[in-house]
Amino acid sequence: VFHLFLYTRKKMRLLLFLMICQCAINTVNSHHVSNPNFILLMADDLGIGDLGCYGNRTLRTPNIDRLAEEGVTLTQHIAASPLCTPSRAAFLTGRYPIRSGMAAFSRVGVFLFSASSGGLPFEEVTFSKLLKQRGYATALIGKWHLGMNCESSNDFCHHPLSHGFDYFYGLTVTNLRDCKPGQGSVFLKGIQKSIVIPIKIAGITLVSLAIVQYIGLLKVPFQALGYCLLITAISLAVLIFFFYHFRHLNCFLMRDHQIIQQPLSYENLTQRLTKEAVQFIERNTNAPFLLVLSYLHVHTALYASKNFRGKSKHGLYGDAVEEMDWSVGQILDVLKKHNLSDKTLVYFTSDQGAHVEEISSSGEVHGGYNGIYKGGKSTNWEGGIRVPGLLRLPGVIQAGAYISEPTSNMDIFPTIAKLAEAQLPSDRIIDGHDLMPLLQGKVTRSKHEFLFHYCNAYLNAVRWHPENSESVWKVFFFTPNFSPEDSNGCYDSHVCFCHGGFITQHDPPLLFDLSRDPEEKIPLTPETESRFYEILRVIHLAVDNHTRSLHAVSDQLSWDNLLWKPWLQPCCSSLFQYCHCDYDSEGSLPEVHSG
């Protein structure tokens, strides 16, 4: 009888424990926050292997790791593109960048100049526009990289304030090595081969014509020869002027529509961005808000303030990561201070994987770590598109949970729209899906049966996660040619390109099962995978359906839209004064502890 009593008591305890657990789960699932705030934190070129919550044991990221502990960690979170501009366009609109014209058919897949005419079309609906219509205060602080002007230097047709943001403090283009003296020039390195050869050809042609004219073999009008020389001289002068003043022309800080620092100063830059973010939150403690804090870290040129410089185990790159983590901590602390933690969804990600080819002139590695995954930025190997995905909303979504289902940065658009009770646009395809059912544990399967991976405007790969299967099939129609051949990137060209001699086409396509081979080491064959041709058949059908859903749009990254146009050049003074000003008053910056 005594043993029976003990056995019964143990069963009652177990039953009570299970009931408490179920009650806790139901509480999370049923809890609802009306008009929650949204803080979306986006790193630049951060590797998934750079964070402690994704396995890094040498970089200190306690604040970002706190988001993982108190929220959900997505382990197969996919950027819609492996490049900044198209990835950010997809993030803001919930749509593949090919749909908005933000995917390039040319070699260059991002905006490089402040005076380019391309950008995110005004007709695109961003989540900031939807939330602004719902009465939210909206701000973008940090990097934009989606264009600025169309026809004049102050029409601001592509500016953040034209896409639903009330407040902007940051860079309209991006952070480049060329922006920071002494850091070299990725820009010059990338176009050196393209410019030197035409200049040589033009020079040899002009000299040859002059010699032929002099010895009398051919009569060339002196006027025509003079015009040729004049055009060549003017072209060279413009190029020299542009490259020499690249930093002044393209690297500047704006507040709303006003340039407040030209060229950009890196002194306490992360502290200034953080201060702006904290002040925006404190201005809106009694009203719903959307804050997109888009870090310049860890895109080159790398930088870190004196409190973090030299403190990490991974050089300047590690210093930058740890400084960014400090900033995240400041944001979380101000939410706690104003009792906003439980009514604010916080999301942390990177726009794409780490840029593995980034190495300084002294040989220091300035790119991040993509963990076990192959490749990096500019490629659709997993290292280029599998990014951190952390979401926290206490009491609403699970804490400490891991979700391995395929998700996309395009999913943020419908997720926050649903939470804010905003109406999704019905006149266009939204490729993202609401994440809340997954985050709350109501479902276990992602709505993304297929994900399409573009290299610029070219369909590069497709991911298929069949129903009732653990497999995640991934097909490559072409792959980049790594250089050197046995390396993990395109070191000779600094980034990988998407067509011509830079790629290898595959027929039949390469096939991987990421559930068994996440490192994409061994392509499957008809001999090693009995369903090989059936898998390809299903994927080709999905590609056909996807392709039929695309419509012709204006190419925002055409050469015409990419090239520098002097009449679009923003300048806080004048070109003759080298576009120089500094109206950005630091005031009191937040207290910094490097930990």
Amino acid, single-letter form, for residue 273: L
For residue 496, indicate whether it is catalytic. no
Determine the Cα–Cα distance for residues 68 and 254; give it in Å rounded to an integer: 33
Catalytic residue among 53, 77, 84, 159: 84
Closest-CA residue to 302 (of 175, 155, 124, 444): 175
Structure tokens at 267: 């002194």
Structure tokens at 286: 């009694």
User: Crossing angle, helix 315-337 and helix 62-70, to 10 degrees?
Assistant: 50
Ranges of beta strands (E only) in 435-565 are 450-455, 458-464, 473-480, 503-513
Q: What is the dihedral of CA 99, 146, 320, 456, to 10 degrees?
A: 40
For residue 145, indicate whether it is catalytic. yes
Ranges of beta strands (E only) in 109-152 are 137-143
Q: Which residue has 């630049």 as its token pair? A: 44
Closest-CA residue to 301 (of 358, 344, 347, 258): 358
Q: Which residue has 């030197």 as its token pair? A: 196
Q: DSSP state, 66?
A: H
- Per the CB < 8 A criterion, the answer to whether 132 and 99 are in contact is no
Catalytic residue among 77, 145, 355, 448: 145
Determine the Cα–Cα distance for residues 462 and 373; give it in Å rounded to an integer: 17
Give the DSSP per-residue string, 298-355.
TSSSP---TTTTT-SSSHHHHHHHHHHHHHHHHHHHHHHHTT-GGGEEEEEEESS---
Determine the Cα–Cα distance for residues 100 and 217; give it in Å rounded to an integer: 55
Closest-CA residue to 63 (of 305, 327, 280): 327
Determine the Cα–Cα distance for residues 410 and 96; give it in Å rounded to an integer: 8
Residues serving a catalytic function are: 84, 145
